[in-house]
Copies of this chain bind each other. A is one copy, B any other.
């Protein structure tokens, strides 16, 4: 079974994961909760490649979790902000944060 087919699974956890349960998506959302909204900011903060970021942002917008917003006419530039639906993922991020603080101590410093 492919992972994408989970979107219609009987289990709400599986349905949620069909959107946010891959390698980087929740990290983008973390950045949103930290107040970041632009492409280059996500790149710098998360360390993911532009390629993947672009694809994930597209999916998050389609899913109604982020909104793509024109912030500069002139050279047209867009940024990304959480919708209400996206905001409601805050508790999930909090629980993951709490678990990480308790159970995943840092071994050595990294740049990102």
Write the residues of chain A forming the contact surface with B, with a CB cutoff of 8 angstroms. Answer: 1, 3, 5-24, 26-27, 30, 47-49, 85, 88-89, 91-104, 106-110, 112
Using Cβ atoms and an 8 Å threshold, which residues of chain B touch A1?
Answer: 47-49, 112
How many copies of this chain does one complex carry? 2
Query: For the complex, would chain A's binding face be called helix, strand, loop or mixed by DSSP majority?
Result: helix
Contact at A21–B19, with CB atoms within 8 Å? no
Contact at B16–A96, with CB atoms within 8 Å? yes
Alpha-carbon gap, A14 to B19, bound state (A): 17
Known contacts A1-B47, A23-B21: A13-B107 contact under CB 8 Å: no
Contact at B104–A15, with CB atoms within 8 Å? yes
Nearest chain B residue, comparing its CB with the CB of A89: B99
